[in-house]
Amino acid sequence: METVYLAIVLAPLLGAIVAGLFGRLIGRRGAHWVTILGVATSFVLSLYVFKYMVIDGNPAFNGSVYTWLVTDGIRMEVGFLVDRLTTLMLLVVTFVSLMVHIYTIGYMHDDPGYQRFFSYIALFTFAMLMLVMSNNFLQLFFGWEAVGLVSYLLIGFWYKKPTAIYANLKAFLVNRVGDFGFLLGIAAVVLYFNTLDYAEVFSVAPSMADATIEIIPGVQGSAMTVICILLFIGAMGKSAQVPLHVWLPDSMEGPTPISALIHAATMVTAGIFMVARMSPLFELSETALSFVLVIGSITALFMGLLGLVQNDIKRVVAYSTLSQLGYMTVALGVSAYSAGIFHLMTHAFFKALLFLAAGSVIIAMHHEQDIRKMGGLRRYLPVTYWTSLIGSLALIGFPGFAGFFSKDTIIEAVYASHIAGAGIAYVAVLIGVFVTALYSFRMFFLVFHTEERFDARTRSHLHEPPAVVTVPLILLAIPSLLAGYWIDPVVFGDYFGDAIQVAAAHDVIGHLAADYHGAWGFILHGLMAPAFWLAMAGLITAWYIYTQNRAIAGRAAERFRGLYRVLQNKYGFDRFNEVFFAGGARGTGWTLWKLGDVLIIDGLLVNGSARLVGWLSGIVRHVQSGYLYHYAFSMIIGLLLLLSWFVWFAPTQ
């Protein structure tokens, strides 16, 4: 099986290399075929791994592939850990990536960087596969940084567009903040465990539960809490949690296919996966779990509110990603790791669907992205309409759709949890349900219903995009509708086995399982739950305001002008970063330039030494007069000074 695992990660890499280095030679068709075949190979092999491990019941694989370096007993190597958690991630990453690759043929059809784009997205897939298959912290960090690098390249793919360059630089810098914490967390693991191997760390971790660390002199703290919080800071950057969320909405400056890939299957899911993988460590620190829970609940509610005031179709979907990532993080904070990963899976399907559907609309509207300039597209884009409806219903958690099973499980898990902060988190995720339904169907109604708000020229060219665009939408709509019915084994069964470890005191999923009576029973229970009624209230509110009486929206914006301005300014995070961090960095640079370069280096050292030499030369020049008596006088004066020194300062015996 080791050969199969190698083929899964190397097939996309091979496609990326061929398309990137030989793109001109093989042409546009060659570039998309070689990368699609590479990702398709990974997907088929992932299905085989699923059969081998889950259906046939074979044990997990944990082994080294290549040893790079051994120093002080610490092995730095490439290795794979393929268990049931990895298997699920492989299916999600490769399937969504394959759909995005096929879709890209239609979306990027006329782009001059066609071959380069296919090379990048295949490389992105390779990086994510290396991350999820790693069995040690070194390879995890390699995949972690590789997805960050490729996301930088893809967000700024249109490098002649200033906003794209600003966005990819912003993403790069914000993720460096998170990655600094992540690297410190890995360093702390090495310090306390003297190994980078997952299995060795996890086996020793219980004995290290009471280990202490002294960060502030004289103050002892839990080493495990510090390690977990540092690792989670890395997840805050990758998975865009407050306050390191600011890069994700701006990532919309990249082409739509990469928006779908970043938001659904790669990059932002890396942080959620990492925390779930590190469950044996996080279970040893309730303080770290509470920290995760609070950050997740803030993100789930307050980032969702920002979706209410967005008019760019992609940014509405982007803020929904931020909110849903908050739900996943909340699940991790209450030790409902299986529910968090399950929501990661269902969200990957319906979020990729919504992004690609938004791209279909953008293609039809000749790259118009403002939902206020759309309307009535249902009659022109029937496939996009119905698949968007499925994705939207899955997003709001409508009973029976994929998002319903995963989101409602998270809400119930938070309600059952006794972790500090669970009460506030429960209120946040419940309110978030109403907000999600409101902004989701605000966008849906303004795009596909209501009156047409575009000109006759646009109307004359409106039609459904080609099959390479619509077929991926249909294929993604199927799991967006049906994937939730896999809740039995994944959440309430023993699907994950030892891949996820939960302390008995934190086992909220076990508590919920006692009252679980199958998927249909879960649906019936959901119809009576507060989350369902809040979702329906949000949907009906959106229908009434945006299809029946749109004047209400204008009056509300005017009446609550202050709140509306706060939401439009995104709570001031961007402004604060621009003034405090970016402005502070520029101010520090200006000060160092003025004091260091201009005053000290140029003024004193370079120009100052030149002026000193000139001054001394001016004095010495007067001595060199050419008159003999001047030289004799100077020699006499010098001799007198030398004799005086010997008389007054010479040492005595």
The radius of gyration computed from the CA coordinates of the chain, to the nearest angstrom, equals 31
Contact predicate 336/321, CB 8 Å: no
Candidates 8, 19, 190; CA nearest to 93 is 8
Give tens-digit pLDDT for 351-402.
999 999 999 999 999 888 999 999 889 999 999 999 999 999 999 999 999 9
Band (pLDDT 50/70/90 cuts) for residue 150 is very high
75: enclosing H helix or E strand: strand 74-82
Give the single-character DSSP code of 136.
B
3-state secondary structure of 221: strand
Query: CA 653, CA 640: separation in Å to the nearest integer?
Result: 23
Contact predicate 438/541, CB 8 Å: yes
* Average of per-residue pLDDT across 396-425: 94
> Which position has the token pair 């993988």?
277
Token pair of 414 as six digits? 């938070």
Q: With 90 as the cut, is the pLDDT of residue 153 above it?
A: yes
Query: CA 10, CA 4: separation in Å to the nearest integer?
Result: 10
Give the single-character DSSP code of 206.
G
Number of Cβ atoms within 10 Å of the Cβ of 17: 17
* Average of per-residue pLDDT across 497-512: 92
Contact predicate 469/363, CB 8 Å: yes
Residues 6+ apart with CB under 8 A from 121: 35, 97, 100, 101, 104, 154, 257, 258, 261
pTM of the complete model beyond 0.75: yes
Band (pLDDT 50/70/90 cuts) for residue 650 is low
Band (pLDDT 50/70/90 cuts) for residue 154 is very high
Candidates 252, 371, 267; CA nearest to 312 is 371
Residue 454: what pLDDT?
86
Token pair of 5 as six digits? 């695992």
Q: Across the strands, what pairs with 61?
A: 82
Give the single-character DSSP code of 517.
-
Average pLDDT, the chain: 91
Number of Cβ atoms within 10 Å of the Cβ of 202: 17
61: phi then psi, degrees, rounded to nearest 5: -105, 130
Q: Across the strands, what pairs with 67?
A: 77
Query: CA 321, CA 260: separation in Å to the nearest integer?
Result: 10
Residues 6+ apart with CB under 8 A from 487: 342, 405, 406, 409, 519, 522
3-state secondary structure of 66: strand
The answer to which of 24-28, 229-233, 531-535, 591-595 has the lowest mean pLDDT is 591-595
Burial class (CB in 10 A: 0-12, 13-18, 19+), 26: middle
Give tens-digit pLDDT for 476-492.
999 999 999 999 999 99
Query: CA 326, CA 304: separation in Å to the nearest integer?
Result: 9
Contact predicate 247/318, CB 8 Å: no
Band (pLDDT 50/70/90 cuts) for residue 520 is very high
Band (pLDDT 50/70/90 cuts) for residue 649 is low
- CA 242 from chain centre, in angstroms, equals 12
Q: Is the dihedral of CA 262, 150, 101, 376 positive or negative?
A: positive
Band (pLDDT 50/70/90 cuts) for residue 89 is very high
608: left (phi over 0), alpha (psi -120 to 50) or beta: alpha
* Average of per-residue pLDDT across 440-451: 93
CA atoms within 13 A on the CB side of 467: 0
Give the single-character DSSP code of 79.
E
Max distance between CA atoms of the chain, in angstroms, equals 119
Token pair of 520 as six digits? 């249909």
Query: CA 193, CA 201: separation in Å to the nearest integer?
Result: 6
Query: CA 57, CA 86: separation in Å to the nearest integer?
Result: 15
Band (pLDDT 50/70/90 cuts) for residue 73 is confident
Q: What is the DSSP string of 384-442?
A: HHHHHHHHHHHHHT-TTSHHHHHHHHHHHHHHH--STTHHHHHHHHHHHHHHHHHHHHH
Give tens-digit pLDDT for 30-43.
999 999 999 999 99
Taking each continuous run of H as one helix and of E as one strand, the counts in the chain are 30, 4
Residues 6+ apart with CB under 8 A from 636: none
Query: CA 245, CA 204: separation in Å to the nearest integer?
Result: 34
The answer to which of 123-137, 167-181, 550-564, 607-621 has the lowest mean pLDDT is 607-621
Token pair of 62 as six digits? 């944990």
Q: Which amino acid appears at position 368 of this protein? A: E
Residue 652: what pLDDT?
55
Give the rounded percent of residues in the chain with a pLDDT score beyond 70. 98
Q: Cis before residue 12, ω within 30 degrees of 0?
A: no
Q: How far is CA 109 from CA 18, 53, 355, 514, in A?
A: 19, 39, 18, 53
